Structure 1
């Protein structure tokens, strides 16, 4: 199952070729996961998770350009792997808001919880692991 996020690219996301720039695509991926990992996590009582999550690894594969227009793009996010101290999210970015719109970008991020007080990585709690599993199973 996937968590669906609709994101609207901004005019400033474009490069000189008229499509979303690579660095801005990475920002759009981040914006797509924020509602789940920050908003939904806090509503579920997981106040430590949004205090510190760091990107450990990022891979982005471009299939076709995304052109900035006056519409959202659909980002489908799935939980690819869940370990005790990290989790991997997979992304399918469509060129428009509908599931039928062409998949223009696929990506993966490995994320790890981080304790900002001790400035060290930490393990996911059982509640956080359950939240991640449920967040994608119910999507």
Structure 2
């Protein structure tokens, strides 16, 4: 299963050529990832996905320029790996007919009070695995 995030384009996201600036895409990915994590949080008093996290790595392939328009783009996000202290997610930024970007991020859950990474809990692993796509959907994804 994939998480879908509708990302609005802002006039300030554009560069001098009218394209979304390459650095702005990192913010788009962050917005989609935060939306994903918030939706995963059980909300029943469980501490899962309520702490912090840090990005350990980004990898981005820019496929086509994205020009300013009033309609949002869709960011599809799915989990590619779940390890003891990290997870990897892949993304595609697209609309109905065009793929603009493929990317991946390694995220590390982080305990800011202790100032160190923390292990992913069994509950978090189970929730994350629901968003692991099969290999046929990952062929074009960036490996991490």
TM-score range, shorter chain: 0.7 to 0.9
Are the counterparts in 1 of residues 48 and 124 from structure 2 also a CA contact under 8 Å?
no
User: What corresponds to 1:110 in structure 2?
Assistant: 106
Greater fraction of residues in helix: 1
Q: Does 2:118 correspond to 1:122?
A: yes
Residue deviations 1:28-54 (CA, integer Å, cap 9, x gap): 011112122024315364435242111
User: What corresponds to 1:24 in structure 2?
Assistant: 24
User: What corresponds to 1:81 in structure 2?
Assistant: 81
CA distance in 2, matches of 1:8, 1:83: 32
Structure 2: tracts of 5 or more residues without a match:
134-144
Are the counterparts in 2 of residues 46 and 128 from structure 1 also a CA contact under 8 Å?
no
Residue deviations 1:26-79 (CA, integer Å, cap 9, x gap): 000111121220243153644352421110000011010111210010111111
CA distance in 2, matches of 1:37, 1:23: 22
Aligned Cα root-mean-square deviation (Å): 1.8
CA distance in 2, matches of 1:73, 1:127: 31
CA deviation after TM superposition for structure 1 residue 112, in Å = 0.6
Range that drifts further, 37-46 or 104-113: 37-46
Are the counterparts in 1 of residues 7 and 28 from structure 2 also a CA contact under 8 Å?
yes
Are the counterparts in 1 of residues 48 and 121 from structure 2 also a CA contact under 8 Å?
no
Equivalent residue of 2:41, what SS? helix
User: What corresponds to 2:52 in structure 1?
Assistant: 52
